[in-house]
Amino acid sequence: MQTIEQLQKLLETAIQNLKFPDQPKQLYDPITYIINLGGKRIRPLLVLMATELFGKNANDSIHAAMAVEVFHNFTLVHDDIMDNAPLRRGQATVHEKWSTNTAILSGDVMMVEANKNLAKVNPIFLKDVLDTFNATAQGVCEGQQLDMEFEERSDVSINEYINMIRLKTAVLLGGALKLGAIIAGASEKDADLIHQFGENIGIAFQLHDDILDVYADPEKFGKQVGGDIIANKKTFLLLKAFELADEASKKQLQTWTDYKTFDSQEKVRAIRGIYDELDIQNIAKESMNSYLNKALKVFDQINVSQDAKSNLLALTTQLMAREY
Amino acid sequence: MQTIEQLQKLLETAIQNLKFPDQPKQLYDPITYIINLGGKRIRPLLVLMATELFGKNANDSIHAAMAVEVFHNFTLVHDDIMDNAPLRRGQATVHEKWSTNTAILSGDVMMVEANKNLAKVNPIFLKDVLDTFNATAQGVCEGQQLDMEFEERSDVSINEYINMIRLKTAVLLGGALKLGAIIAGASEKDADLIHQFGENIGIAFQLHDDILDVYADPEKFGKQVGGDIIANKKTFLLLKAFELADEASKKQLQTWTDYKTFDSQEKVRAIRGIYDELDIQNIAKESMNSYLNKALKVFDQINVSQDAKSNLLALTTQLMAREY
């Protein structure tokens, strides 16, 4: 069984070896660009780790891992158009650097490239791999749609929010793990369990992000604390605050989120003040922990040795360990 | 062997039975909308006809046919955004009726739906089917990219143009036929031959369209004659005219294509006048016929009876028979 570091090296080599046609340049250059912006490569790593968890070599699922990474980058390119985002990982987004049309079409061909990688998996597993990948891709699209709709709505419930982040971010973690499991020849039951594990840690990660945005140590966070508050992002924290606030606090929240111009620091301070009064941080942590515990409970049921499980547990801990 | 009419009925039933999720409505409504705008359903018909050509029942390839139709409609949705087109088949385009973001994301999920249909084909053929489908989809994206680039260029050669229409429209006809052949268990050689047949008739069809746009009988054409001329579309005819014109005619062509405001009828008359002087219609017809003949020559080499071939020949004739 390879270490996480070994798997990461394997991944980086495979990513660098991804070959796209030279022409038309305008179509393929953005693919190399977005993929080389980096990122933690968590999703393809999960594919490989699941394969090793079930006793097979990560090389068996390297093509599926590439499919997942290229697909993920495709969603970034199209989401950035829809969200009108100028920057991605500190660099210009594809539609900013080239054009919206280029970003649409390069994104489309990335989806095809993802499918080409997928078609390279062992034909014995191909049908199952495709079904899992397609269900995952569909979920991700639905999640993005809900995310956009929620921006326009003022009555989003916590349940709706959890379902949206499940689709938009968690199903891809679950799907990545399930792909790796399928390719290792895991039983259907184990493949489903690891999928559930992935979905639940995915929701926990997103709640963790929501909390960090407000309560991270500014010195360690790496980006602006309170960014979600400034942008009126309907996170778990904001939705919960609206749910629990009395009339006076609700009015204050509404006033701050309605302001077109405001002092950012003042807004963050005011809204965090309301969160603190309502104990939102702890409520969010409780919810996060409930998803984390659910994840660990299903993970425990997977029929492999504790030893084999240690890598995935270590990664989970590592990803949840970013400090407040 | 079923008649074309029987296959068309089979197709219409299958298209009406395509099921998409109900929610999120904004994501899935545009799919039903665009697919129900109609169209001749030539591409999925070709899938079914190729399967029957090689002695199998069209039902065997109905899912592949749906994949091709849904994929084709996906390209229409995204192309219409890129081309800023307000109308498709006389109705509002998806991005006009909903929004650009909806059109991007609904298009994306249509690509997933196409792949879901594809995954339903007999697993024996799945790998070959995927490889053919993905190569086709990639070609179509490349064709759209070239088409957009050509709009900005003034030095497009006839060879480049033919390559662009090959990718943008002809490879999907070739791909559709090859998918049907693969699913019928045709030999690799026959599958390649029918692919070549499709590509060559595809190019011939497009050249036919280019000619019809200028020389169709207005009473029978169903749309405005000269539409390509009015829009400065770089068709075979315009590119060939620029290639063959003397300095005086070239200057005239340039002047007409540079005008920002003009009388449409006058522009059509003037440019058609230059085409006539240069005998462009016949040159285009010669080129069209050379692709048609190439298509028929490779079709002749396919190793099935003349009787089995009659349906596809009849369809080809029917599609080429629109009058000037």
Measured CA to CA, the distance from residue B192 to residue B166 in angstroms comes to: 16
- Are B148 and B280 in the same domain? no
- Are B178 and B208 in the same domain? no
Model ipTM value = 0.95
Cβ pair A141:B108 closer than 8 A? yes
Q: What share of chain B is helix, strand, coil (3-state, %, to 5)?
A: 75, 0, 20
Measured CA to CA, the distance from residue A64 to residue A179 in angstroms comes to: 7
Residue A314 lies in a domain: no
- Are B204 and B181 in the same domain? no
- Are A174 and A225 in the same domain? no
Nearest CA in chain B to A143: B24
Least confident segment among A244-258, B17-31, B214-228, B243-257: B214-228
Return the pLDDT at A287: 98
Domain boundary among A186, A221, A253: A186
Which of B24, B81, B118 faces A145 most closely, judged by CB atoms? B24
DSSP calls for A202-225? HHHHHHHHHHHHHHS-HHHHSS-T
Measured CA to CA, the distance from residue A112 to residue B108 in angstroms comes to: 11
Residue A150 lies in a domain: yes
Cβ pair B108:A111 closer than 8 A? yes
Measured CA to CA, the distance from residue B214 to residue B53 in angstroms comes to: 35
Return the pLDDT at B218: 83
- Of B4, B315, B26, B21, nearest to B173 by C-alpha is B315
Spell out which residues of chain A touch residue B118, defining contact as CB-CB under 8 Å.
Answer: 130
Query: What residues have CB less than 8 Å from A275, skipping those under 6 apart?
Result: A214, A237, A241, A281
Smallest Cα distance from B238 to chain A, Å: 23
Query: What residues have CB less than 8 Å from A36, skipping those under 6 apart?
Result: none
DSSP state of A167: I
- Are A256 and A153 in the same domain? no
Coil, strand or helix: which one is B324? coil
Which of A109, A130, A149 faces B26 most closely, judged by CB atoms? A149
Return the pLDDT at A220: 80
* Ordered per-residue pLDDT tens for chain A, 324 residues: 899 999 999 999 999 999 999 999 999 999 999 999 988 999 999 999 999 999 999 999 999 999 999 999 999 999 999 999 999 999 999 999 999 999 999 999 999 999 999 999 999 999 999 999 999 999 999 999 999 999 999 999 999 999 999 999 999 999 999 999 999 999 999 999 999 999 999 999 999 999 999 999 888 877 788 999 999 999 999 999 999 999 999 999 999 999 999 999 999 999 999 999 999 999 999 999 999 999 999 999 999 999 999 999 999 999 888 665
Return the pLDDT at A219: 82
- Are B162 and B222 in the same domain? no
User: How many Å from the N-terminal Cα to the C-terminal Cα in chain A?
Assistant: 33
Measured CA to CA, the distance from residue A115 to residue A92 in angstroms comes to: 26
Q: What share of chain A is helix, strand, coil (3-state, %, to 5)?
A: 75, 0, 25
B134 in reach of chain A (CB within 8 A) = yes
Phi, psi of B235 (to 5 degrees): -90, 175
Nearest CA in chain B to A139: B109
Measured CA to CA, the distance from residue A101 to residue B82 in angstroms comes to: 5
Which of B105, B115, B126 faces A82 most closely, judged by CB atoms? B105
Q: What is the CATH number of the domain that holds B127?
A: 1.10.600.10
Which residues numbered 57-86 in B keep a CB inside 8 Å of some CB on A?
Answer: 78, 81-82
Measured CA to CA, the distance from residue B314 to residue A222 in angstroms comes to: 67
- Are A80 and A28 in the same domain? yes
Measured CA to CA, the distance from residue A279 to residue A215 in angstroms comes to: 12
Cβ pair A24:B149 closer than 8 A? yes
Range of the domain at A1: 1-186
Return the pLDDT at A58: 98
Q: What residues form DSSP beta bridges with B88?
A: B91
Return the pLDDT at A323: 60
- Are B202 and B253 in the same domain? yes
Residue B291: half-sphere exposure toward Cβ, Cα within 13 Å? 24
pLDDT average, residue stretch B254-264 = 94
- Are A14 and A162 in the same domain? yes
Spell out which residues of chain B touch residue A78, defining contact as CB-CB under 8 Å.
Answer: 104-105, 108
- Are A210 and A113 in the same domain? no
Cβ pair B104:A81 closer than 8 A? yes
Q: Place B323 in a pLDDT band, splitting at 50, 70 and 90.
A: low
Domain boundary among A186, A210, A240: A186
Q: Place B113 in a pLDDT band, splitting at 50, 70 and 90.
A: very high
Smallest Cα distance from B306 to chain A, Å: 35
Return the pLDDT at B217: 87
User: Distance from CA of residue A300 to its chain's centroid?
Assistant: 23
Residue A154 lies in a domain: yes
Smallest Cα distance from A114 to chain B, Å: 10
User: How many Å from the N-terminal Cα to the C-terminal Cα in chain B?
Assistant: 33
Domain boundary among B144, B163, B186: B186
Return the pLDDT at A135: 98
- Are A73 and A4 in the same domain? yes
A93, A138, A164, best to mutate vs chain B, most B CBs in 10 Å: A138
- Are B179 and B211 in the same domain? no
Report how many domains make up chain A. 2
pLDDT average, residue stretch B9-23 = 96
Which of A116, A137, A145 faces B112 most closely, judged by CB atoms? A137
Measured CA to CA, the distance from residue B208 to residue B210 in angstroms comes to: 5
pLDDT average, residue stretch B248-270 = 95
Nearest CA in chain A to B102: A145
Measured CA to CA, the distance from residue A293 to residue A285 in angstroms comes to: 12
Return the pLDDT at B223: 77
Nearest CA in chain B to A74: B108
DSSP state of B92: E
Q: List, for residues B176-231, the tens digit of each pLDDT value.
A: 999 999 999 999 999 999 999 999 999 999 999 999 999 998 888 777 889 999 99
Specify the residue for token string 């070739």. Answer: B174
Q: What residues form DSSP beta bridges with B87?
A: B92
Return the pLDDT at B147: 96
> Cβ(B246)–Cβ(B232) under 8 Å?
no
Measured CA to CA, the distance from residue A116 to residue A96 in angstroms comes to: 27
Specify the residue for token string 């759209």. Answer: B144
